[in-house]
A = this chain, B = another copy of it.
Amino acid sequence: MGQGFANGVGMAVAERFLRAHFGPEAIDHHVFVICGDGDLMEGVSHEAASLAGHLGLGRLVCVFDDNHITIDGPTDLACSDDVVKRFESYGWHVERLGEVANDLDALEAGLRRGIAEADRPSLLVLRSHIGWPSPHRTDTKEAHGDLLGAEEIRVTKALLGLPVDQDFYVPDEVPAFYAERARRGRAAREAWEERQPAAVGDRDRFEACLGGRGLDGWADSLPSFEAGTKLATRKAINKCLTATSAQIPGLLAGAGDLTGNTGVDLGAGAEVQSHAHPGGRQLHFGIREHAMAAAMNGMALHGGVLPVGGTFFVFSDYARAAVRLAALSQAHVVYFFTHDSVGLGEDGPTHQPIEQLASLRAMPGLRVIRPADANETAAAWRIAVDSDGPTALILSRQDLPVLAETSVLAAEGVGRGAYVLLSGRDASAPPDIVLIGTGSEVQLCLGAARLLEPEGIVARVVSFPSWDLFAAEQTGYRDDVLPPGILRLAVEAAASFGWERYADATVTIDRFGASAPGSVNMEKFGFTADHVAQKARELLGTRARQLGES
């Protein structure tokens, strides 16, 4: 439902990007999309088509299978769009091909006109008849959703001059035709492979592009961060991105009109992706989160581009259908989801994520990482680039202290999903309580541990940036980090939903937020070291009473 159309837009960006960097001898092809009414009714088609028109993606050729039928019946039950005018408004080349769905010459001529249009994407409107030539199902909604049935298949086969008594019938000329096409394809592939090494120039860059990887040793360029300084993780990710972008040749970064805000800004020297600058690595996706995520899938699945897309975390909801397909198809993409809690401040509940962390953690196949500080952010960026599949980095708007503990431990610890940041006074003795924090709340757990220490309460602090990575660890490691039988308190400025998996109690937020300065919100909603320490004392008191009673 619109996803493939928007994937095509991303694929056309990837083709143009690679052609610009490695030349047409190495990369030179078109992207063809066949889409239907449902695709074009969906909002993502507007976002993607508008973006494609703006970018002047001349290699994109779309055929609209305009059959006038959807599941409910005729399309005019719900839609009166003038599709030609609509796509012209986006700057596309649009043609009505007419009723030529079974006229191969006319179809080919139309496609060739689309191919010839170098500066604009093309939409070819093909009036077709669903179910044709079935006598009772042509132009009916039943042809969309139901099986034809044995009798209708029989009469339709007879109409087409096919043998009616064979379930599977292939005329002799068909395998011969495809064998010839396969030979042509193989020859073209071999010719491409032969000229490619000379054509692409720097082979390492080309291979890194195709693999969506960094050059060997790319991560050596990662910056280090000084403990005690303060930096929002959205700013830290930007430092990581700009420091390593030259070492990740396929990197293409952009935001939904939040380039500076979400850390995807490649800097003043970066070319903006456009018809004039097809090699540009900075892409302005516009206020189109859904198309951004869907086009990123297309770039990643095309290959040759490692797409990075940024928006406010709450607006990941707009892109969710495409994020799910990234997870399902294991597209190698990276999201910078920033402004990750009520700590963002005055924009209020419409902009403050609450349930988004739980809802993304519940999605199979998506790696979600919420780093505690700049050091964990650098480790998370390394994982996102080096791993397969999609990664969502959940980043703070507000400044966070760079922790002394993470400078040593984060590089390995983030990769394991959770790790001990502070053992307590004595590493060999079990702690009284484990304080689990993620993202901006890890510092609160460290602060609470320091408050509890003079009272003789030994609190372990565990930084827990990624549930997915932790779940992939062995039981032995998980028990080392979270010793069975020891009380656990999780602290996260998000919904409590799901935390029972790892914690006995939480300091979380199970309501929509409020409009106030970020620091006021955090305090009022209980995200302070004092409140975490107090909650820990209460839990230990309850546990002690329970033990006394039993």
Alpha-carbon separation in the docked complex, A320 to B289 (Å): 13
* List of B residues within 8 angstroms of A325 by Cβ: 350
Most chain B CB within 10 A, of A54, A71, A258, A355, is at A355
* List of B residues within 8 angstroms of A272 by Cβ: 77
Q: What is the CB-to-nearest-CB distance from A68 to chain B, in angstroms, rounded to a whole number?
A: 13
Asked whether A495 lies within 8 Å of B41 as measured between CB atoms, the reply is: no
Q: What is the CB-to-nearest-CB distance from A98 to chain B, in angstroms, rounded to a whole number?
A: 19
Asked whether B50 lies within 8 Å of A81 as measured between CB atoms, the reply is: yes
With A287-B42, A321-B315 as given contacts, are A362 and B359 in contact (CB-CB < 8 Å)?
yes
Asked whether B362 lies within 8 Å of A349 as measured between CB atoms, the reply is: no
In the complex, residue of chain B having the shortest beta-carbon distance to the beta carbon of A48: B43
Interface-forming stretch among A83-91, A169-177, A183-191?
A: A83-91
Asked whether A43 lies within 8 Å of B41 as measured between CB atoms, the reply is: no
Count of chain copies = 2
Asked whether A38 lies within 8 Å of B328 as measured between CB atoms, the reply is: no
In chain A, positions 246-295 with a C-beta closer than 8 Å to chain B are: 255, 257-261, 272, 284-288, 290-291
Asked whether B287 lies within 8 Å of A41 as measured between CB atoms, the reply is: yes
Asked whether A286 lies within 8 Å of B79 as measured between CB atoms, the reply is: yes
A133 at interface, CB cutoff 8 A = no
Interface-forming stretch among A148-156, A451-459, A496-504, A533-541?
A: A496-504
A486 at interface, CB cutoff 8 A = no
In the complex, residue of chain B having the shortest beta-carbon distance to the beta carbon of A75: B286
Alpha-carbon separation in the docked complex, A88 to B70 (Å): 24
Asked whether B359 lies within 8 Å of A364 as measured between CB atoms, the reply is: no
In chain A, positions 502-540 with a C-beta closer than 8 Å to chain B are: 510-512
Q: What is the CB-to-nearest-CB distance from A498 to chain B, in angstroms, rounded to a whole number?
A: 5
With A317-B320, A317-B321, A497-B361 as given contacts, are A42 and B47 in contact (CB-CB < 8 Å)?
yes
Measured as residues with beta carbon below 8 angstroms from the partner, the interface class of chain A is: 35 or more
A25 at interface, CB cutoff 8 A = no
Q: Which of these, B70, B358, B500, B510, contacts A287 with CB under 8 Å?
A: B70
Q: What is the CB-to-nearest-CB distance from A523 to chain B, in angstroms, rounded to a whole number?
A: 20
Q: Which of these, B42, B79, B258, B362, contacts A497 with CB under 8 Å?
A: B362
Given contacts A328-B512, A354-B363, could you give 11 more A-B pairs where the C-beta distance is less than 8 Å?
A37-B287, A38-B287, A41-B47, A41-B287, A42-B43, A43-B43, A50-B80, A85-B88, A89-B89, A355-B359, A359-B359
Rank and list the top 9 A-B pairs by shortest CB-CB distance, nearest first: A43-B43, A46-B46, A78-B286, A359-B359, A500-B500, A85-B89, A86-B89, A362-B497, A358-B362
Residue numbers of A with Cβ under 8 A of B are: 1, 37-38, 41-47, 50-51, 53-54, 70-72, 77-86, 88-91, 255, 257-261, 272, 284-288, 290-291, 315, 317-318, 320-321, 324-325, 327-328, 349-350, 354-355, 358-359, 361-365, 495, 497-498, 500-501, 510-512
